[in-house]
Amino acid sequence: MSAKICRKATAAGNHVKDASFYRLVKGTARGGVPSARIAAYKVCNSDGCDDADILSTFDDAIADGVDLITISIGASRASEFNEDTIAIVAFHAMAKGTLTVNSAGNDGPKWS
């Protein structure tokens, strides 16, 4: 599993002068939010993703002032909200003004 906690990762991008589309159109290209910065935090290690590490990393990101956390860590089965680490830290982040976007699991679709 891998995890990233980022500040506006999909919207970042500086101005690029003389960008072109197959040399048909020339101009300046930019990301959706050129002033955005990206921060990445390591949550998992070779032994997996510990709940304590997830909690600590969210606290670090919130303290760093990130605007958006995107995390792609999921359990193999659903759990109750009050026992789900990602749900708990996402609620904590929301209470602090930080939006969280996360996967619904990493096992892909299962067809029966």
The reported pTM is: 0.65
Q: Looking at the predicted structure, is the pLDDT value of residue 10 above 60?
A: no
Beta carbons within 8 Å of 15's beta carbon, 6+ residues apart: 28, 29, 30, 34
**CA pair distance 31, 109, nearest whole angstrom:** 32
* Average confidence score pLDDT of the chain: 79
Instruction: Identify the pLDDT of residue 77.
Output: 75
Q: Looking at the predicted structure, is the pLDDT value of residue 107 above 90?
A: no
Instruction: Identify the pLDDT of residue 79.
Output: 83
Kindly report, residue by residue over 11-51, the tens digit of the pLDDT.
566 777 888 878 888 888 777 777 777 788 989 888 888 99
Task: List 70's β-bridge partners, or say none.
Answer: 101
Instruction: Identify the pLDDT of residue 37.
Output: 73
Q: What is the mean pLDDT of residues 97-105?
A: 82
- Residue identified by tokens 């921060």 is 39
Q: How many CB atoms lie within 10 A of CB 72?
A: 13
- Among 51, 58, 67, smallest CA distance to 10 is for 67
**CA pair distance 37, 11, nearest whole angstrom:** 9
pLDDT band at 110 (very low <50, low <70, confident <90, very high): low
**Cα four-point dihedral sign 90, 94, 99, 104:** positive
pLDDT band at 108 (very low <50, low <70, confident <90, very high): low
Beta carbons within 8 Å of 18's beta carbon, 6+ residues apart: 26, 27, 28
Instruction: Identify the pLDDT of residue 63.
Output: 94
Domain locations in the chain? 16-102
